[in-house]
Amino acid sequence: MRSFENRPDCTVLDEPLYAAYLAATGLDHPGRDDVLASQPNDWRVVAKEITSGPVGSAVHYQKHMTHHLLPEMDHGAFAGLSHAFLVRDPERVLTSYAKVREEPTLEDLGLPQQVALFEEFGGPVVDAASILASPRAALAGLCEALGIGFEEAMLSWPAGRRDSDGVWAPHWYSGVWASTGFAASSPGADDPLPARLAPLLERCLPYYDRLAPYVMKVD
């Protein structure tokens, strides 16, 4: 999201369905009450807001978590948007996520939902490792696939909090706030996976592998 927000022609929106997801599932996430108070709790209201009306910029980037799009939500409401999918090594996802919520489930991580949404909508798939290794080439390819021009401004940004960050940012975004670009490694990135999560990792891998053939090749 930082990369796109640093474009001069882009407005960003941070996880607009988060409150609706928490309201529907009753899950206890960090800062739950603040999240529920910060956004509409009805997904229909959110869908209307994010799919209609001017946004004041040529590009409107929406960051979504795949598990926020629950099965009971009418996914057809989002069919008119351009979709792209970011995948990441499940071991790294699990290790990072468990630092905030110690006992995640497969559904919390959103991998099955990501595969289902890709099969429903299609769109470019980019691996986080490719972006970290070759940010300019990976982002240029993604922009081309989405029909927008690449901007050099996407490669770096000022550190710190942004007004666009969701109210949950203090719980999840410490690494984002410290970042100024695409670092090949970041603090905690190589922390080992807790042994208790090894069985969950095995359940995650088939979903990651399912999308692997569609990952954009970066020269």
pLDDT given at position 191 = 87
Assess if residue 187 is contained within a domain. yes
- Show the DSSP H helices in the chain as ranges: 2-5, 18-25, 32-38, 43-51, 90-97, 106-109, 111-121, 128-133, 135-146, 169-172, 174-178, 198-211
In-domain check, residue 125? yes
Residue 219 lies in a domain: no
Please state the domain count of the chain.
1
How many angstroms separate the Cα of 155 from the Cα of each of 8, 55, 135, 179? Answer: 13, 23, 7, 11
Mean per-residue pLDDT for 100-127? 96
Kindly state the average pLDDT of the residues 101-120. Answer: 96
Residue 180 lies in a domain: yes
Quote the pLDDT of residue 186: 63
Give pLDDT, residue 185. Answer: 62
**Over the chain, what is the mean pLDDT?**
95
Please report whether residue 190 resides in a domain: yes
Tens of pLDDT, residues 154-189: 999 999 999 999 999 999 999 999 999 998 766 666
CATH code, domain carrying 142: 3.40.50
What pLDDT is stored for residue 56 in this prediction?
87
Instruction: Give the pair of three-digit tokens for residue 130.
Output: 């490719």
Q: Residue 197 domain-assigned?
A: yes
Question: Is residue 185 packed enough to be buried (19+ CB in 10 Å), middle (13-18) or exposed (0-12)?
Answer: exposed
- pLDDT tens-digit series, residues 28-68: 999 999 999 999 999 999 999 999 877 889 999 999 999 99
> Residue 115 falls within a domain, yes or no?
yes
Q: Residue 59: give the domain boundaries.
A: 2-214
Distance from C-alpha of 169 to C-alpha of 173, rounded to nearest angstrom: 5
Query: Considering the domain boundaries, does residue 154 fall inside one?
Result: yes
